[in-house]
Structure 1
Amino acid sequence: MASPHVNAPRIAEGSPPELVVYDREQPCPYLPERVSRLPLRLPSRPLTGAELDQRLACGDRRQGFVLYRPRCPSCIACEPIRIPAREYVLSRREARILRRGDEKLTIVSGPPRVDRRRVEIYNLHKQGRNLRDGQPPIDAEGYRDFLVATCCDTFEFAFYYEKLLVGVSVIDRSDRAVSAVYTCYDPAYSTFSIGTYSILKQLELCRNEGLDYLYLGLYIEACSKMAYKSAFLPHERRIDGVWRRFEARKD
């Protein structure tokens, strides 16, 4: 019997209207023996900051031009997670990472772009952290479609060590928040904890600009690759349609 969810374009409700360009059940990329459903929605025009805020608050994520939100048939393990930026206090470990990064790395902020080194870093990161899941290396076109194409206000943090690009973070900006889309780095420079450092610099940006939240994407408790997200406390997770708070550690 055919799946009830097919790859058939249709219009989703909302402002601006969105075209559902893909909607099919498939094996879950995070949990074995689970089935996922991630309808991909293409906005009819670029989103304003307020419109992006509304979608982030509902648990949306962005990939290229499209938005998605889990609609899995028998699983609710994915929990959108965000950090209240104004309240966040660094742990001692985070303070050390921030201090070392500020001393050794240079950040250049600008529009996301693609070049040979960025593609190389993306593939090195996937390989070094065992994130490839059988997929072939990405090429420049794939990088552009995933991390440069966008339907909202998007920028990148480019991390340099002694004039060599060693990491990239792609970030969305709304009226009240920033959303961490993707970070990749050269594993040869993992001593700088660039993934954590990037989150700390995004939190710093939120505080400097009076923004409320840093969205970290989806969190799955049973997925070890996402465990790092829950270490940032206090944070909030969207569970059963409600943002629930998880309090700060005693450090």
Structure 2
Amino acid sequence: MFRLGLTPPHPCDYLPGELSRSLVVIDEEALDPRAYEFLLAQGFRRSGTHAYRPWCDRCRQCIPARIPVAAFRPNRSQRRILGKNRDLSAEWHSATELSDEQWQLYHRYLQARHGEGDMARAGRAASNDFLFSHWAETELLELRLEGELVAVAVTDVQPRSLSALYTFFAPEQAGRSLGSFAIIEQVEAARAAGRSWLYLGYWIAPCRKMSYKANFLPLEVRRPEREIRAEQWQRLADRQAREAFLAELESDSFHWSREYSVQK
């Protein structure tokens, strides 16, 4: 059992004009990779040491998503991405902080992608606090071109799953679709280790930065209901199922079927 708290409303980072709230785990000392895997299955996510899930008053656009790795096959576009990056080498490393080389790449990426945001102004210590946690087991996927580091995918390791936390890459290599390539590499790593899922965080269809996750099919999703139950994942096998799911979600009213009390 975890005690949970509810954050005050604050401007949403992804959808302009929306207010966001999060349900957060208070008892961080109770967290470890096995406990976190349970929370992932309930739609939670990690930011630094904090495990949270969206709990917004009006909006239900943050949809927990994961790839069932045994069933995934790259589509035509993803096969082109694989071909485009055939010249890259991939290595996995356990880590508790960014190396000098990784930090320099991370800083360049943030300056190019989020130059006006708070993340780009964060120092190295704050960035490590965001990417790592003392209770998580984290590995870094490094992608190199002729020895030069061009991308890093921060990945949490659980007994039955991997969780894709954050990927950053050299801005001049944007044409390689390295974010999507890293997901395919993470899927293959999970499959090779006998794990069942790669968690992608939240699929947010109206947000371009977060909508790409729906390109990985089959995709398993949880309806973003304001409730916590046992696992209730729905598999979207193809584009038709994906579009039907979105249409069904849009047709629902914003009335929550049940309110749950939380620790405040």
Shorter-chain TM-score tier: 0.7 to 0.9
Secondary structure of 2:54's counterpart equals coil
From the superposition, tell whether residues 117 and 40 of structure 1 become closer, same or farther in structure 2 (CA, over 3 Å). farther
CA distance in 1, matches of 2:20, 2:130: 20
Structure 1, unmatched stretches of 5+, are 1-13
> Which residue matches 1:43?
28
Relative distance call for 1:215 and 1:47 in structure 2 (3 A) is same
State which drifts further: 29-38 or 237-246. Answer: 237-246
Query: 1:79-126 deviations in whole A, cap 9, x for unaligned?
Result: 111111100111123223224434333424322422343233223323
Q: Which amino acid counterpart does residue 47 of structure 1 have in structure 2?
A: D
Question: Deviations 1:189-231 (Å, cap 9, x if unpaired)?
Answer: 2233211111001110121112111110011111111121011
Q: Residues of 2 paired with 1:26 and 1:90: CA distance?
A: 38
Q: Are 1:179 and 1:215, in contact at CA under 8 Å, matched by a contact in 2?
A: yes
Question: Which is worse superposed, 99-108 or 144-153?
Answer: 99-108
- Quick one: distance in 2 between partners of 1:187 and 1:147? 19
What residue is the counterpart of 2:17 in the other structure?
Answer: 33
Could you tell me whether the CA contact under 8 Å between 2:161 and 2:197 is conserved in 1? yes
Q: 2:127 and 2:190 mapped to 1: Cα distance?
A: 26
| Paired residue type of 1:76 | R
Which residue of the partner structure matches residue 4 of structure 1?
Answer: none
What one-letter code is carried by the residue in structure 2 that aligns with 1:165?
L
**Aligned partner of 1:79 among 51, 63, 86:** 63
- Structure 1 residue 160 corresponds to structure 2 residue 159: no
Q: Which residue does 1:245 correspond to in 2?
A: 235
What 5-or-longer segments of structure 2 have no aligned partner? 241-264
* TM alignment of 1:117-136, pairs within 5 A: 117-130=101-114, 132-133=116-117, 136=120
| AA of the residue aligned to 1:121 | L
Question: Against the structure 1 CA distance between its residues 102 and 113, is the aligned structure 2 distance closer, same or farther, given a 3 Å change threshold?
Answer: farther
Contact 2:49 2:132 in 1 (8 A): no
Q: Matched residues, percent identical?
A: 31
**1:155 alignment partner AA:** E
Q: Give the TM-score, by structure 1 length.
A: 0.83
Alpha carbons of structure 1 residues 52 and 172: separation in structure 2 relative to 1, 3 Å: same
Residue-by-residue CA offset, 1:8-51 (whole Å, 9 max, x unaligned): xxxxxx2xx4575x7221111111111111244352144143x2
CA 1:108–1:214 in structure 2 vs 1: closer, same or farther (change >3 Å)?
A: closer
Assess if the C-alpha contact under 8 Å between 1:27 and 1:36 holds in 2. Answer: yes
Displacement of 1:150 in angstroms is 3.9
3-state SS of paired residue (2:78): helix
Aligned partner letter, 2:155: I
Task: Give the length in aligned residue pairs.
Answer: 233
For 1:52-71, what per-residue CA distance to the aligned partner results, in whole angstroms no more than 9, with x for missing partners?
Answer: 22111100101111101111
Structure possessing the higher relative contact order (Cα contacts under 8 Å, 6 or more residues apart):
2
